[in-house]
């Protein structure tokens, strides 16, 4: 099997889905972000965003922290170490495909 | 695909500037600093050390209080205006090695050429004549350095308007330099009698401060205009907090 074919097969399918890919890209460049930020930047619907975030959390790629900003409940999302490594690996694999 | 991911990442990096508040605060700080420098320069004590200490003291105090006030104001504005409309984001913290790399690059790319040029000038002339040319060259050099920094920052943050601000800084630096040239200040170090060297140094440092103040003032005004336009655009796009939208 050629390296190119291996690279395509080994692409992380959790990240490869476009909606999740954009969420991983957004979270990769910040320490954490809230739901509204991800909603505005990704232009997904609320329902779709919730589903995709849950899927990424199940895969262990993001973690959720519930805090308070003043008296208002606030939920922040951040990439885990595993998520960071998976995203870096995904980008490397993707880059090597088009060389 | 990787380019599209990079584009999304750049958009996030530029989020801090999405509402224009950072430019308005920075521009305001520049304007206050420039006015403080111009005022402290106009009431100059007779001796160079006394004047230098007075000017440096005023500028440092304004800088310290101004930065603190600007940061507190920015936090408040972001918290009450931006985050309820387009969301909250916490930036990544720079590691120690990243800070060291940035510092090393700043020293390497900004300070070394300046020191090199000064050293080269000193080889061909004495201190006084070199200082006498500084009101012409300093604003040009600083305008150029700011232009490069704005363009690089714009590239990294994905903000096209920073290119324009960079070009404006470059033009402003050149204009201030030309203005100093037009009032008769030398462009190249020339030999001058030693007995007039000290007053020339004092006068030249005054003029450097004045010309730099005008450059800082102009750049501050450009930043404020850019920030206000960005804010108006942001407000039009996001008139009400997200929770209150129907």
pLDDT digits (tens, 9 = 90+) for A38-49: 999 888 999 999
DSSP B242: G
pLDDT at B81: 92
Nearest residue to A32 via CA among B157, B15, B73:
B15
Q: Do B91 and A26 touch (CB under 8 A)?
A: no
Distance from CA of B64 to the nearest CA of A (A): 28
Residue B192 has pLDDT above 70, yes or no: no
Q: Do A91 and B86 touch (CB under 8 A)?
A: no
pLDDT at B111: 66
Q: Do B89 and A94 touch (CB under 8 A)?
A: no
**Length of chain A measured in residues:** 99
CA A57/CA B118 separation, integer angstroms: 57
Residue B119 has pLDDT above 60, yes or no: yes
- The predicted-structure confidence for A47-69, as pLDDT tens digits, reads as follows 999 999 999 999 999 999 988 87
Residues 6+ apart with CB under 8 A from A30: A78, B12, B89, B90, B91, B92
Residue B148 has pLDDT above 70, yes or no: yes
pLDDT at A46: 92
Compute the average pLDDT of residues B204-220. 85
Distance from CA of A58 to the nearest CA of B (A): 22
Considering CB atoms only, which of A25, A34, A95 is closest to B9?
A: A25
User: Residue B206 burial by CB count (10 A; 0-12/13-18/19+): exposed, middle or buried?
Assistant: middle
Which residue in A8, A37, A81 has the most chain B C-beta atoms within 10 A of its own C-beta, making it the best mutation to test that interface?
A37
A37 close contact with B: CB closer than 8 A:
yes
DSSP A1: -
Residue B25 has pLDDT above 90, yes or no: yes
Residue B92 has pLDDT above 90, yes or no: no
Work out the number of other CB atoms within 10 angstroms of the CB of residue B224. 19
Classify strands A62-69 and A72-79 as parallel, antiparallel or unpaired: antiparallel
Percent of residues, chain B, with pLDDT higher than 70: 74
B89 close contact with A: CB closer than 8 A:
yes
Residue A74 has pLDDT above 90, yes or no: no
Considering CB atoms only, which of B9, B11, B91 is closest to A28?
A: B9
Which residue in B5, B13, B81 has the most chain A C-beta atoms within 10 A of its own C-beta, making it the best mutation to test that interface?
B5
pTM for this structure?
A: 0.79
Angle between helices A35-42 and B2-13 (to 10 degrees): 130
Answer whether A39's CB lies under 8 Å from A46's CB: yes
Higher confidence at residue B72 or residue B118? B72
Would you place residue B156 in the very low, low, confident or very high pLDDT band (cuts 50, 70, 90)? Answer: confident
């Amino acid at each position: 099997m050629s390296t190119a074919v291996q690279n395509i097969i080994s692409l992380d399918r959790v990240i490869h889905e476009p909606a999740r890919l954009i969420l991983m890209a957004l979270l990769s460049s910040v320490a954490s972000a809230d739901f509204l930020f991800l909603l505005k930047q990704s232009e997904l619907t609320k329902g779709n965003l919730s589903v995709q975030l849950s899927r990424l959390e199940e895969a262990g790629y993001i973690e959720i922290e519930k805090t308070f900003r003043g008296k208002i409940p606030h939920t922040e999302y951040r990439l885990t170490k595993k998520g960071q490594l998976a995203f870096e690996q995904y980008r490397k694999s993707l880059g090597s495909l088009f060389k | 695909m990787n380019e599209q991911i990079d584009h999304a990442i750049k958009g996030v990096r530029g989020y801090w500037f999405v509402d224009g508040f950072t430019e308005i605060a920075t521009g305001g700080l520049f304007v206050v600093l420039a006015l403080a420098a111009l005022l402290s320069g106009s009431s100059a004590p007779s001796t160079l050390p006394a004047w230098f200490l007075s000017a440096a003291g005023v500028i440092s105090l304004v800088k310290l209080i101004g930065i603190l006030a600007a940061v507190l104001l920015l936090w408040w504005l972001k918290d009450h205006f931006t985050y309820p409309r387009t969301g909250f984001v916490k930036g990544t913290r720079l590691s120690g090695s990243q800070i060291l790399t940035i510092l090393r690059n700043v020293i390497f790319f900004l300070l070394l050429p300046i020191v090199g040029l000064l050293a080269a000038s000193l080889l061909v002339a004495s201190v006084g004549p070199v200082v006498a040319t500084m009101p012409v060259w300093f604003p040009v050099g600083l305008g150029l350095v700011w232009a490069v920094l704005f363009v690089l920052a714009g590239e990294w943050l994905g903000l096209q308007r920073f290119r324009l601000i960079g070009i404006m800084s470059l033009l402003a630096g050149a204009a201030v330099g030309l203005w100093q040239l037009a009032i008769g200040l030398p462009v190249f170090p020339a030999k001058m009698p030693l007995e007039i060297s000290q007053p020339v140094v004092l006068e030249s440092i005054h003029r450097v401060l004045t010309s730099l103040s005008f450059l800082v003032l102009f750049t501050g005004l450009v930043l404020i205009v850019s920030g206000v336009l960005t804010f108006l655009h942001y407000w039009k796009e996001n008139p009400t907090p997200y929770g209150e939208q129907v």
